[in-house]
Each structure stands twice: as C-alpha cells, then as structure tokens.
Amino acid sequence: MVSSVVSILKGIAGAMRFFSHDGFELAYIDLAPPEGGDPVLLIHGFASTHAVNWVAPGWVKTLNDAGYRAIALDNRGHGASAKSHVSDDYTPQKMAADAAALLDHLGIGRAHVMGYSMGARIAAFLALHEPAKVATLVFGGLGSGMVDGVGDWGPIASALLAEDPQSIPHPQGRTFRAFADQTKSDRLALAACIETSRTLLRPDEMDRIRQPTLIAVGTRDDIAGSADQLARMMPDAASFAIEGRDHMLSVGDRTFKARVLEFLRQHPL
C-alpha cells in the first residue's frame, strides 16, 4: 500500500497546483482529456488525499477516459494542503467554501460534484450554500449517517494522538491510524478535523438539496448508514448498493464507477 501510494504521488507531482483561500494554501489537480469535457469536482474523505481517494483507485483515469474533466483538491489539513491544529478551521461549511473557491479560481460556474465519506458531507454543504455551482451530486460512502451520525469517533481521535500505535485497542481507531501513517498525514491536524467536520444535516436540509443525486454505499460498510434512507429524504435521489464492499474497499469498485458514469450521462451539464 505504502509503495503504491508513493509511486502515485510521484507520478502526479507535476500536475499539482495551488491556490489560496481563507488563509490556506490548497493543493489540487485539474486533468482533462484533450477534447476537454464537463467538470467533475472530487472531494476526498477524512484522512485521505486527492491521490489516495481519486487517483490511485482509478477515478481520474475513468472520468478522463469517459470525456470528463477531473478536478480534485486536498482538503485543508490533508495531503499537500496547509494544516491547522485548530478544530474550528475544519467545519464542513469552511471546507465547502474551499471547494467553491476552487471552482471560482478555475473560472467554472457549474460542475458535477462527487464526494466520498467526509467529502460527501462537504459536497452536501456545498450544494446547500452554493446551489448554482452544483449540477449533480454523488455521495459515496455516506448514507443516512449524513443525518443520524456515523458512530463514535472519539476513539479514532485518540488513536490519531497515541504515541504508540501498538497500544490502540479500538479496531476502527487502529485502521484509521494505520491509514494516516501510511499517507504520512499530520495526525494533529486530523485529530482537530475529526472534532468539527462531522456536523450533521437535518432532514429538512436534505430536502432542500434539489440537484439530481446518486448515493452509493457498500453492503458491508458499517460506517455510512443507509443509502436508501438518505435518498428518501431528498427530492431527486437514487441509491446504489456496492455489493460486498466495506467502507475502504467501496472507493475503487468497478460497479460503483460504472454506475457513476451512467448517472453523469443521464444528467449532462
């Protein structure tokens, strides 16, 4: 895993760019097929990066091969973007504002928006606060947990702060700590992020999101909650079960990719 991530990072280093927003220098990539294409803004999950969430699992290539322009940023506190150890810097509203600022920076008035896990929550806040910028939405790895919560993340924050990873008793804490270590993340920044990035949305707020939405969750995902339940809260949403996949393995699933491409074709800009 570590060697593959390192090779991916080296391969895309020349494509990485930066822009400034709200006091943060934020890293992003903007890759399009030669003929151009409709933009798809990709927002990664907690403790991940644009490379780990979107490049390594083949999403950027999949979208480019299908004729779409793939834009992906490192959220504040993650990857090559600037870090803060202050929890108030990591609300979904502020991270959604970063995503909106990136579209403005690139001169893009409207885009498809796809987020995974925490990125799905950020995408929802983006749709609520900047609806004109969002043509469609894909929520991956987050269903009814968007509204009901996604369990106790306190042990995960403790795992990120632990001096010795071997001392971590919590299974999910060990998983996220290993992931953070593999991606060479700033663990203090992630611990701050986990405190405020999980702001819940109310059912009436989900009902205000009018864009066509696809909600995809793995059938073995014990973090995300129900895709069907979240879809029923929204006026124009469909759910998709990623068969046999857990939260981590759903990301690069080929059936997930095929369903997203079908959804995008059904809803051109």
Note the pLDDT tens digit of each residue in 218-241: 999 998 999 999 999 999 999 999
Cβ-based neighbour number of residue 199 at 10 Å: 11
Q: DSSP per residue over 85-105, as a string?
A: --GGGG-HHHHHHHHHHHHHH
Of 71, 9, 86, 4, give the one whose Cα is nearest residue 39.
71
Nearest to 209 by CA among 147, 164, 152: 147
Asked whether the predicted pLDDT for residue 176 surpasses 90, the reply is no
Q: Helices 92-105 & 118-129, crossing angle to 10 degrees?
A: 70
Task: Find out if CATH 3.40.50.1820 is the number for domain 2-150+196-266.
Answer: yes
Whether the model pTM is above 0.85:
yes
Helical H segments across 15-132, by residue range: 50, 59-65, 92-105, 118-129
CA dihedral 236, 149, 43, 241 (to 10 degrees): -60
Given this model, what pLDDT does residue 43 score? 98
pLDDT at 57 > cutoff 90 = yes
Which of helix, strand or coil describes residue 233? Answer: coil
What mean pLDDT is predicted for residues 13-33? 93
**Spatial distance between the Cα atoms of 42 and 103, rounded to a whole number of angstroms:** 11
Instruction: Output the pLDDT for position 252.
Output: 96
Is pLDDT at 2 greater than 60 in this prediction?
Answer: no
Distance between CA 267 and CA 262 in Å, rounded?
9
> Taking residues 179-188, what's their average pLDDT?
85
Q: What strands lie across the sheet with 39-43, from one edge to the other?
A: 17-21, 24-31, 69-73, 39-43, 111-116, 134-140, 213-218, 237-242
Contact (CB, 8 A) for 191 and 154: no
First CA to last CA distance, the chain = 36
Q: Which phi and psi (to 5°) does residue 238 adopt?
A: -130, 150
Phi, psi (rounded to 5 degrees) for 253 = -60, 135
d(C-alpha 185, C-alpha 178), whole Å = 10
> Which residue intervals of 143-253 are DSSP H helices?
145-148, 154-161, 171-182, 187-196, 203-207, 227-232
CA gap 166, 153 in Å, rounded = 19
pLDDT tens for 185-202 read 898 999 899 889 989 999
Give the closest residue to 135 by CA, choosing from 268, 23, 1: 268
